[in-house]
Amino acid sequence: MPAPPIPNLPNPRADHDDSFFQGKNWLSASINRLIDAITPKCRENTRILSQGMDAPLPLLIRLRLRMHFLMCCYCKRYAAQLRYIRKASRAFPQYCGNVVTATLPDAVKERMKTLLRREAGER
């Protein structure tokens, strides 16, 4: 017997959601659907935001991100967190070389490779 269809329910909003369009009325919900149709999904946005830390993003991509932020407080918060991490890491460049240089023993590396190969072969 096939699984019952999943109802097309709106994304539940958290109490702390500060998005501009929250889908609480017909117009806001319609604008949300339009923005959702023309902007990348959240998973893609996180990848794009990370790439934007390395190189400038094209104007169209930046506009789509801004539009997505109008309806998604989580992506907006993720972008702010990335900016904070970047700012904090630039504030303390003298500590960048103090990274732990410990490595795993070769026996442990080989055991991990074996387990990963075995797991990949079982699928």
Contact 82, 50 (CB under 8 A): yes
Q: Which residue has the tokens 């904070």?
A: 84
For the chain, the structural domain boundaries read 26-122
Convert the pLDDT of each residue in 38-68 to its tens digit. Answer: 888 889 999 999 999 889 999 999 998 988 8
Convert the pLDDT of each residue in 66-92 to its tens digit. Answer: 888 887 888 888 999 999 988 888 887
Q: Where are the alpha helices (DSSP H) in 1-123?
A: 26-38, 42-52, 59-69, 73-91, 106-122
d(CA 31, CA 106): 55
pLDDT of residue 4: 57
